[in-house]
Amino acid sequence: MKITSIVGARPQFVKLSPMVKAFAAHPEVEHAIIHTGQHYSDVMSDVFFRDLDIPKPNINLMIGSGTHGWQTGKMLLGIEVVLLDEKPDMVVVYGDTNSTLAGALAAAKLNIPVAHVEAGMRCLRKDVPEEINRVVVDHVSSLLFCTPGVSAANLNTEGMFWDSVIPAGDVLHDAFVQNKDRIPSVVVLPGKYVVATVHRQENTDDRNRLNSIICALNDIAKIIPVVLPFHPRIEHSVKELSSGITVIDPLSYLDMLGLVSGAEIVLTDSGGLQREAHWLGKMSIILRDVTEHMDLVADGWAVLADADSRTILSSAFSAMKTLDRKVELGPLYDGHAADRIVAKCIEWLEP
Ligand code: UD1
């Protein structure tokens, strides 16, 4: 039995790592990896494969950066050729990037069943590119692996067949569980600090929003140092940073967890980092007006501050005053989501 994972962007490599381990426990499965090359530099790609002991991809299409249509189109062309050649029995795609969309579309059009890991996440905004990718991918997939609660409910609301929606847990949490004893202590600055990350197109490509976020970070930095790992998307657009903000290169998975575990709070527009901050017992200020993780907001682990300087500032300071709380997670957060997903894929192919 051949099952092929298609990945291409930084967060997908992390989600792939527990899946690789889960596949390894099933010698009857030949698991292959196609890397689209959406992310290509060492800090955005190779370091994750090294750190997380993920085997080298069987094929790297080396598509690189471009506009959405160009990038997705090139991926479709490249992936189709590989799938026609390799003829896998199933394709697994992860998350909501252009690599997820291209992988799912190429496979579905060739009548290869698609399993979507991290299905059902919605922010209900059509101007968010990842939302378009999620909706399309879910609707062409045969197996929808989601977290219980909101994601499963979203899929039911959209009329998905009940037996294709499988609340299996969160593979990003599996990666966290598998690596939490390896988290290094990362000292960028002595003393207390906060971590900020900004990479979403809705923030980086909108001058007003970006200026407003930077203005808030500059103000926060007057009181407490801010560490800002730079995603390549904002590298060239940010100019006036105060001296209280320390810019560093993008970090590896383990170093980022290390940086967050020593921080007071996290300010971010990343969906994955909100979850990881929570698992590390840290509050997030979300630099968006929506999030796919409203459960974190409802439980008080995250605050939606949008790109509004004042709200970011006041939410950050009140979060820093919040007392430490115990992290409580549901029964599916046991580090075995990937095992359940792989077992279900095999059962589905060989009933
Ligand atoms: C993509 C995903 C986003 C995910 C993010 C994680 C889509 C639509 N978006 O956005 O959901 O959260 O990955 O990082 O798929 N670049 C480099 N080196 C690289 C890769 C990119 O310098 O290895 C630069 C290029 O200038 C490029 C820019 O980063 O134009 C953005 O890359 P892109 O492929 O658009 O993805 P992300 O913005 O990272």
| pLDDT band per the 50, 70, 90 thresholds, residue 323 | confident
Does 233 contact ligand 1 (Cβ within 6 A)? yes
| pLDDT band per the 50, 70, 90 thresholds, residue 221 | very high
**In this structure, what DSSP letter does residue 54 have?**
P
> Which residue's CA is the closest to the ligand 1 atom numbered 24?
232
Return all residues near 265 (Cβ < 8 A) that are at least 6 apart. 194, 195, 277, 282, 283, 284, 285, 316, 319, 320
| pLDDT band per the 50, 70, 90 thresholds, residue 112 | very high
In this structure, the dihedral spanned by the alpha carbons of residues 89, 93, 98 and 104, taken in order and rounded to 10 degrees, is 40
Backbone angles phi, psi at 186, to 5 degrees: -110, 110
Q: Over 80: is that where the pLDDT of 236 sits?
A: no
What pLDDT score does 30 carry?
A: 98
| pLDDT band per the 50, 70, 90 thresholds, residue 234 | confident
pLDDT tens digits along 68-85: 999 999 999 999 999 999
Q: Over 90: is that where the pLDDT of 237 sits?
A: no
pLDDT tens digits along 14-51: 999 999 999 999 999 999 999 999 999 999 999 999 99
Does 10 contact ligand 1 (Cβ within 6 A)? yes
At which residue do the structure tokens 């990037």 appear? 97
Best mutation site among 135, 233, 236 for ligand 1 pocket (most ligand atoms within 8 Å of CB): 233
Over residues 305-312, mean pLDDT: 97
Rounded-to-integer distance, Cα 217 and Cα 215, Å: 6
> Which residue's CA is the closest to the ligand 1 atom numbered 28?
233
